Amino acid sequence: MSERRRNTERAAADLQRESPAGAKTHSTDGGQSTPSQSFTQCQGEQTVNETRPLPDINRADSGTVEITSEDDILTARQTTRTVVESLEFRITDVTRTVTAVSELARNVYLYAGEGTMTWYEIHRDDRVGIELKFEDEGPGIQNLSAAVSGNYSTSHGMGRGLEGTRELMDTFKVQTSEDGTTVTVRKWNR
């Protein structure tokens, strides 16, 4: 029995070293500060490090969720789910959007400690959709192009992080610097 316990503890320690979960990263002391970078993907086209505005849309309803705790990640998900279901998104698109929100809200919490998510009901022509903006004043993403392009090792089939979120959404825009990060995503009803 004691041997099993030792195995358990060793196994737990191994996993903690491997997995980046749970730990909040702080700014590296004396390390390089995050350079200002941006990335936009819209309608299949990508723009890197240019200020590219997203296509014009009409905004209707909106709301904000403060992200200051792990529980707020759940709130962000639930709020998003309510909104997109009311916009009659297909179930798969509901799942995609809520999953992306969970990822982005968690990033805000893990890497900046706090931030906000603002959602907007958006309209263009006869289409309706949701726009979500995640803002924080955290240390920023060091290497944005690596993070969004999927140069992210998949361990245990554990996924493509920011790149994965980008694939779930129709429009994806990130601006990051040492002063903070803003991620704006859009998903349209189909």
Q: State which of positions 105-144 bind other proteins (CB under 8 A).
A: 106
Q: How far is the CB of 29 from other proteins (least distance, A)?
A: 27
Question: What distance in Å separates the CA atoms of residue 124 and residue 188, rounded to the nearest whole number?
Answer: 9
Provide the residue type at 47 as one letter. Answer: T
Dihedrals phi, psi of 14, to nearest 5 degrees: -55, -50
Residue 145 · residue 39 · CB < 8 Å: yes
Question: What distance in Å separates the CA atoms of residue 150 and residue 163, rounded to the nearest whole number?
Answer: 5
Q: How far is the CB of 74 from other proteins (least distance, A)?
A: 5
Residue 52 interacting with other proteins (CB under 8 A): no
Residue 157 interacting with other proteins (CB under 8 A): yes
Of 177, 171, 182, 158, nearest to 122 (Cα)? 171
Q: Name which position in 94, 117, 141, 174 contacts other proteins (CB under 8 A).
A: 94
Q: Name which position in 47, 58, 63, 71 contacts other proteins (CB under 8 A).
A: 71
Question: What distance in Å separates the CA atoms of residue 148 and residue 185, rounded to the nearest whole number?
Answer: 13
Q: For other proteins, which is the closer residue by CB, 53 or 156?
A: 156
Q: How far is the CB of 4 from other proteins (least distance, A)?
A: 6
Question: What distance in Å separates the CA atoms of residue 89 and residue 15, rounded to the nearest whole number?
Answer: 38
Residue 95 interacting with other proteins (CB under 8 A): yes
Residues that bind other proteins (CB under 8 A): 4-5, 7-8, 11-12, 15, 19, 21, 70-71, 73-74, 77-78, 81, 91-92, 94-96, 98-99, 102-103, 106, 154, 156-161, 164-165, 167-168
